Amino acid sequence: MHTSAPKPLTAHRAARLNGRLRVPGDKSISHRALIFGALATGVTRIRGLLEAEDVINTAKAVTALGAPASKIADVWEVKGRGVGGLRQPDGPLEFGNSGTGTRLMMGVIAGHPMTVTMTGDASLSKRPMRRVLGPLKQMGLEILDEGKETLPLAMRGTSELVPITYTLPVPSAQVKSAILIAGLHAAGETTVIEKEATRDHTERMLRFFGAEVRVVHKDGLTHITVKGDAEMHGRDVTVPGDPSSAAFLACAALIVQGSDVTIEGVLVNDTRIGLYTTLQEMGGDVTLLNRREDGGEPIADIRIRSSKLKGVHVPAERAPSMIDEYPVLAAIAAFATGETRMDGLAELKVKESDRLAATAAGLHANGVAARVEGDSLIVTGTGAVKGGGTVQTHLDHRIAMAFLTMGLASDQPVTVDDTAMIATSFPEFRGLMEQLGARYGEQA
């Protein structure tokens, strides 16, 4: 839980960024590897697990549910209990700042006859859970505080879940995943219908663990079906580098003159690389090298060289593939020439903060022209950023990292009011940036 005193940090203009490195494991895949390992029979061994607070809270949760997760040397092991085999925890499950861990675990709890209270930090406790609770209640999950839709939440699952067919009203990989995970426990087939593609890590990893998953594209819709009463078996999982973490290093390399950075072993799943497509459209020298596959997921090395950028229009349909990257894209759009318009960002209003408003406010504080129009963010770039401002992060790790990236190429230093929460997703952020040549200080 994020309760520590604020830790402001200032980014100073860097000379250049150079080097080859790896970023920590992908957060989405790390959560799922722990959860599916718990629902499988036998032992799952995970290499490259992201050891950030969000993921560690998921590891603690599966342990509390009777599937011990522990680190042995550099490998995490989960002793699975099989689908439906978890037990009632002794106390509440604490998820800190993790929306992913919370929503996926709701799908797990739904399929077990147990009563569980889920809690989170101040930021997570403001985030709405209605979209995931609705379909899970249709399947049989009972919310003990009827009508309540935010943490803390007490809920009761059942061993007699009902399979459903559910059309997602808004694209959300977390809601889709929670329903599919619950569907593992239901008798029959559970189907989620998507109008827009979202991250498909759950489908890929369920197959990898032995569940029966069918994906059918029909009439512009995607139907994802999982067969219930599933039997999954422990596997060896290698977690690829997180493209959302790599985004900060890549964007920094584009805007700091003379930079040449290669990030090795990054996940390049089509549902996650919208940012890199956008950077290329802006004129960014971004190349995907040495493409390969591991554990059912595509990976590559990404080489980025500093570039002159131009403003572009980022269409709404690209939003699901880069939803976490908009703050840092907005930060570097300030260095592009012309207007960058990002559409379809409603989801950003219900993240760790209202990321749309927080991003625009951070840009204004540093002399950048930006405006929010409905669900769109428009940044007017001039090729340079004055800087000199202090950014209110609102306890949001991605806001903090986005503006610590922007400050590396601004005329004057950029300060963020807090960095303590960066540990929720990317504790190595500062160290890796400084390894490349970034300059940070505790005071402006």
Q: What is the pLDDT of residues 153-167, one digit of tens each?
A: 999 999 999 999 999
How do the domains of the chain map onto residue ranges?
Answer: 9-23+240-441, 27-238
pLDDT > 70? residue 121: yes
pLDDT > 50? residue 1: no
Measured CA to CA in angstroms, residue 164 lies from 41, 137, 184, 407, 420 at distances of 25, 11, 12, 48, 41
User: pLDDT value at position 2?
Assistant: 45
Q: How confident is the model at residue 4 (pLDDT cuts 50, 70, 90)?
A: low
Fold match flag (9-23+240-441 vs 27-238): yes
- Is residue 213 within 8 Å of 203, Cβ to Cβ? yes
In eight-state DSSP terms, residue 261 is: E
Q: What is the pLDDT of residues 45-98, one digit of tens each?
A: 999 999 989 999 999 999 999 999 999 999 999 999 999 999 999 999 999 999
Query: CATH homologous superfamily for 9-23+240-441?
Result: Enolpyruvate transferase domain (3.65.10.10)
Q: Which residues are catalytic, by number?
A: 324
Residues 6+ apart with CB under 8 A from 367: 385, 386, 387, 388, 389
As a whole number of angstroms, the distance between CA 378 and CA 185 comes to 44
Q: What is the pLDDT of residues 333-385, one digit of tens each?
A: 999 999 999 999 988 887 766 899 999 999 999 999 999 999 999 999 999 99
User: How much is the pTM?
Assistant: 0.83
- Torsional sign, CA 86, 88, 90, 93: positive
The CATH architecture of the domain made up of 27-238 is: Alpha-beta prism (3.65)
Please state which of the ranges 32-36, 84-88, 144-148, 438-442 shows the lowest mean pLDDT: 144-148
